[in-house]
Chain A
Amino acid sequence: MIKQKVRVKTFQINGIDVTGRSDSTILEVAKEHDIHIPTLCYLEGLSCVGACRICLVEIKGSNKLIPACTGKIKEGMEVFTDTDRLHKHRKMILSMIFAERTHTCSVCVSNGHCELQDMSVELGMEHSQVPYLTNRFDIDASHERFVNDPNRCILCTRCVRVCDEVEGAHAWDLVDRGLDTRVIHDMDDPWVESESCTSCGKCVQVCPTGALSEKGVSATEMVKKKSLIVNLLEMRNRER
């Protein structure tokens, strides 16, 4: 195989000169330069889908805000990650994510170990700016080891991606649209009846919230192993 020449691009983030491989995303280059951009649906090791919009950044000369996790870098671009406008939009987006489902943190398995909750702290979002919808979704506790509670789901699709890209099972997918969207197994079968699920539990470990959890844990007890995926991929690459 002919190796493509690695090209680099130079541009600015928050006024600092940075360089990155030409096919990088803004988020990747920011990370390499220790510039923090808040993210929710992004998870190292998985593909980027731009589902949550928390990582929005400003580009000088453009009115559009773009997600840093999917936005590719361009030579000479000027990126801003920490402006008042972004703070305002991120808070609104986070409010909408909270209000879309029913997050009763005090009784949640993930209370104290939840990425959504952590984001409310990071962004200083201490109340929702939009009314709570309180749509009810049925909980799937059919699996002997895992529970799926869509009332805490933020539709980040980490579960869908890890199952497809790392486990290779593609047991999860999305069904319905808009506010009714849910993650489902196979043809919307109960988890226990899913023929494609291998019960590996990767989806549970990468889920940022209490939507996917291990059975038997009670409030605050669900601590997840987020580094699992990066470690797994590293081991695989080593073997090759």
Chain B
Amino acid sequence: MAQKIKVATIWLDGCSGCHMSFLDMDERLVELSEYMDVLYSPYVDQKEFPEGVDLTIVEGALSSDHDVEMIKTIRQNSKKILALGDCAITGNVSTMKNLYGTRAIMETGYGQNADHNESGEYPHLVVPKLLDRVHPLHEIVPVDYFVPGCPTPADAIYTVLKALIEGKEVNISQLTRFGK
């Protein structure tokens, strides 16, 4: 059999829903595992993002300096990037913050709505720094495939991955859409 495709998956500013949808492929995961090796993912215990990845599946938008650092590493180390779900593609719910600005959100979250915050400060050590604007992936790095949905339905993920494995073309808009 041909060599297995080396796959990574990651969620950035998403809710993990698209990764849940991935698991919802159920027994089809067994079939896919014959063609793919998952090197890095919330599903496996690997701390550093590896080199020489064939396909990285990214859920979530870019909201923090850490997200941007990760997507740049991912771009460098992956032949192809697949943006999975609306957050990765449009910014989705994460982007609604852009309407008010990061400061206003911090003030609401850690000021107005906080029961205890005597110092009145926002967390800024250890946790990543929020960007001024949330971005979909392709506003920062080139993205090869876009598979929208909130979350992307398992059937769409399966059909797209199967097509990639077999080197066939698919019309993604016939499988899923924004908000699906």
* Chain A contacts to B: CB under 8 angstroms: 98, 102-108, 111-112, 117, 120-128, 131-132, 134-136, 151
Question: Provided the pairs A104-B96, A127-B138, A134-B95 are in contact, do residues A120 and B86 lie with their beta carbons within 8 angstroms?
Answer: no
A108 to B100, CA, bound (A): 18
Task: Give chain A residues whose Cβ lies under 8 Å from the Cβ of B91.
Answer: 132
CB contacts between A and B, total, < 8 Å: 75
Question: Provided the pairs A120-B173, A120-B177 are in contact, do residues A126 and B96 lie with their beta carbons within 8 angstroms?
Answer: no
Q: How large is the interface on B (under 10, 10 to 19, 20 to 34, 35 or more residues)?
A: 20 to 34
A56: shortest Cβ distance to chain B, in Å? 20
Contact B173 A112 (CB under 8 A): no
List the A residue with the shortest CB-CB distance to B149. A106
List the A residue with the shortest CB-CB distance to B83. A127
Contact B95 A104 (CB under 8 A): yes
Contact A105 B98 (CB under 8 A): no
A105 to B174, CA, bound (A): 17
Contact B90 A103 (CB under 8 A): yes
A159 to B147, CA, bound (A): 33
Question: Provided the pairs A105-B86, A111-B179, A117-B178 are in contact, do residues A127 and B99 lie with their beta carbons within 8 angstroms?
Answer: no
Say which residue of B136, B139, B146, B150 sits within 8 Å of A105 (CB atoms).
B150
Query: Is B172 located at the chain interface by the 8 A CB criterion?
Result: yes
A164: shortest Cβ distance to chain B, in Å? 31
Task: Give chain A residues whose Cβ lies under 8 Å from the Cβ of B174.
Answer: 121
A121 to B174, CA, bound (A): 7
Contact B146 A126 (CB under 8 A): yes
A138: shortest Cβ distance to chain B, in Å? 11
Contact B171 A124 (CB under 8 A): yes
Question: Provided the pairs A126-B146, A132-B136 are in contact, do residues A104 and B93 lie with their beta carbons within 8 angstroms?
Answer: yes
A221 to B172, CA, bound (A): 25
A111 to B100, CA, bound (A): 23
15 chain-A/chain-B pairs, Cβ below 8 angstroms: A98-B90, A102-B96, A103-B90, A104-B92, A106-B150, A117-B177, A122-B173, A124-B171, A124-B173, A125-B173, A126-B177, A127-B90, A127-B146, A132-B98, A134-B95
**In the complex, chain B residues 62-110 whose Cβ is within 8 Å of any chain A Cβ:** 83, 86, 89-93, 95-96, 98-100
Contact B95 A132 (CB under 8 A): yes
**In the complex, chain B residues 118-166 whose Cβ is within 8 Å of any chain A Cβ:** 133, 136, 138-139, 143, 146-148, 150
Contact A126 B148 (CB under 8 A): yes
B57: shortest Cβ distance to chain A, in Å? 15
A230 to B4, CA, bound (A): 57
List the B residue with the shortest CB-CB distance to A118. B177
Contact A128 B90 (CB under 8 A): yes
A131 to B173, CA, bound (A): 20
Contact A105 B178 (CB under 8 A): yes
A205 to B95, CA, bound (A): 28
List the A residue with the shortest CB-CB distance to B172. A126
Contact B99 A131 (CB under 8 A): no
Contact A131 B179 (CB under 8 A): no
A111 to B150, CA, bound (A): 11
Question: Provided the pairs A126-B172, A127-B136 are in contact, do residues A134 and B177 lie with their beta carbons within 8 angstroms?
Answer: no
A196 to B173, CA, bound (A): 42
A111 to B90, CA, bound (A): 15
Q: A105-B150, A112-B179, A134-B98 are in contact. List 16 more A-B contacts (CB 8 A).
A: A102-B95, A102-B99, A105-B86, A106-B86, A106-B150, A106-B178, A121-B177, A124-B171, A126-B89, A126-B147, A126-B177, A127-B89, A132-B136, A134-B95, A134-B133, A136-B99
